[in-house]
Amino acid sequence: MGRCYGASRWTIFTKIVLLSALPEILAGIRIGLIRGVKGVVIGQILVSIIGYGELFELYSRSFDMERFWALTLILFVAAMLLSAAVEHFEKRIEYYAGAR
């Protein structure tokens, strides 16, 4: 239909194909962000030389549960905020996907 109205290949790609694929792309990014944060935290805990892993080990070994849970909540909130930001952008783009 785009070709019938004289759209170039670039216009068809950017205005039709890309916009219709954006909801799935953003859903993948959102899932990837959550899994990425989990992977970083687990990797830091396993290595526990620097960063969050070291703090987790330090707080758990010294039974400083207030700081341990505060650090856990900060990481959880950061992951949820990243996910919410992508979800918000995804909802704004949802119009272009249409009812397939």
Q: Number of helices and strands (H, E) in the chain?
A: 4, 0
Judge if pTM exceeds 0.75.
Answer: no
pLDDT, tens digit (0-9, with 9 covering 90-100), for 17-45:
887 788 788 888 888 887 887 787 777 77
Report the chain's mean pLDDT, rounded to a whole number. Answer: 79
- pLDDT, residue 99, reads 46
The domain limits of the chain are 21-97
